[in-house]
Amino acid sequence: MNLAGKVAVVTGGSRGIGRAICKRLAQSGAKVVINYVSRPEAAQETKAQVEALGAECVVLKFDVANTAEVQDAFKQITAECGRIDILVCNAGITRDGLLAMMKEEDWDQVMAVNLKGAFNCIKAGCRPMMKQRWGRIIIITSVVGFAGNAGQANYSAAKAGLVMLTKCLARELGPEIRVNAIAPGPVLWPERDLDQELKAEIIGKTALKRSGSPDDIAGAALFLATGAPYVTGQVITVDGGRSL
């Protein structure tokens, strides 16, 4: 399916997985709206890469955890673009630490961005989709939403919440709107600062014996956006076999 004429909104689209998804959707012809909150230079770099692919691109700064900012942003998107066809809820943060020593604000911030942020964006974004009777919502969760991870109780709980959000919304918004999720394993890219020993450990635990890349996740996102008309309420694990 070609995405010409479609409008895709990608939260947290300035780098990493978000950037790769923006580029992959642009290659299929979509007009891309890149959301960012704290890295304007990275967002503009992503915009330049998207436009180099021949696609139209808009950059919008808003905090997905702020309900008013999200509502205003989505009103602006529909006013300027006329429609919203694809929404990728990718924005997320980590505030790692053992629960016994975790600060309350670290719990609250992760829940606000990772879980409430998706709620805010989907609530605002699904309305134009319902009116046009077509839409694709893709939520980026994580394998830790199934298995958990020591030191990431807040992050794991938020990602588990996204799994159930996916399934509930698939029932609520069908049959016109497909709602699915992607659960990446550890994904590495050049700007991600991990020591070599940890990288080797991550690679060693995969069946494919390589790390995941943002492009691996973007490929799954493109499939859900274009090639999965009978798939909804599902979580696709993209982890190189790590969770086997």
Annotated catalytic sites, by residue? 155
**CA 95 vs CA 103, 108, 113, 116, 156: distances in Å:** 9, 10, 11, 16, 11
Which distant-in-sequence residues (6+ apart) come within 8 Å of 124 by Cβ?
70, 71, 73, 74, 75
SS3 86: strand
Strands of the 57-61 sheet, one edge to the other? 57-61, 31-36, 7-10, 86-89, 135-140, 177-184, 235-238
Closest CA to 22 of 3, 39, 1: 3
Among residues 2, 4, 16, 18, which one has the least CA distance to residue 139? 18
The residue type found at 55 is A
Rounded Cα distance between 40 and 159, Å, is 26
What is the spatial distance between Cα 42 and Cα 93, in angstroms, rounded to a whole number? 16
CA atoms within 13 A on the CB side of 96: 6
